Structure 1
């Protein structure tokens, strides 16, 4: 089923992406917990991710870069805040320079992943990004975050079917 909705709430400064998948919560969790699986879907098809560091525990950090069609390699990181496998992941999500230092001026987003059982089987996976300001939310939308997440999560069905 993949992505079922993307909603922006300007008053709450959030963007919520919801997907539905015909798997158990434990299987859906592996999309986050296994860096090789994360690489296969995190980022749109034209910007595949490479995970460099993957410490998915509170206080840990996940670092990655995406390789664009022109060879550009934008970098990102997650500072892990909360983990309740296989149901909840909370991270501070930001951009980094080539040596992994967080970029000033790009803002840090709080991202919460919720995986809940769906009536009749399967799961609903919700990613809620909370921005520090309306300007930050608008900047990320302008940079293509909404469509990028739609495309990224759209790859999950194929990965789960493999």
Structure 2
């Protein structure tokens, strides 16, 4: 299944079903060694500085674009319900709360359905970011699918 990505009001919503059990998908999303391999659009790599997946925990990482540009990222976890849900604010060190994210991990038999809802401060901001984020999220979820297929 391809990822279904939609822009609805202030939200970008991504849904994808993975042919992998929920625990495996959860680990790929929350283990710094694994997430460093697949996170981000095609051509991107990551350096994980810290990743503490717990309420109040921080995930700081640098995404390295294929053109050599570095993108600092800062995530603060608000809610962590293993292996069902992650809720966090995502931004960078200067502005750590640029948008709010809820990721649900749902069992569908032996498969796992991911629903990722990213909420922005306004519809205008969501529309502007969607210009690149929709394709970026499709590619990111595609990379996760490829990663899981190798496990």
Q: Give the TM-score, by structure 1 length.
A: 0.86
Offset of residue 62 of structure 1: 0.4
- Tell me if 1:15 matches 2:12: yes
- Counterparts of 2:147 and 2:7, CA distance in 1: 27
In the TM superposition, structure 1's runs of 4+ consecutive aligned residues that sit over 4 Å from their partners are none
SS where residue 74 of structure 1 aligns? strand
Once the two structures are superposed, residues 27-78 of structure 1 have per-residue CA deviations (whole angstroms, 9 ceiling, x without a partner) of: 1101222111111221112222222110110001101111112211011111
Once the two structures are superposed, residues 117-154 of structure 1 have per-residue CA deviations (whole angstroms, 9 ceiling, x without a partner) of: 11x43110111101111122122123x11111111110
| CA-atom RMSD in angstroms | 1.5
- Tell me if 1:124 matches 2:124: no
Q: Give the TM-score, by structure 2 length.
A: 0.92
The one of 101, 104, 108 aligned to 2:94: 101
Match of 1:82?
79
Q: Between Structure 1 and Structure 2, how many residues are aligned?
A: 150
Runs of 5+ unmatched residues, structure 2: none
The one of 29, 33, 38 aligned to 1:36: 33
- Higher RCO (C-alpha under 8 Å, 6+ residues apart): 2
Question: Of Structure 1 and Structure 2, which has the larger fraction of its residues in helix?
Answer: 2
- Tell me if 1:45 matches 2:73: no
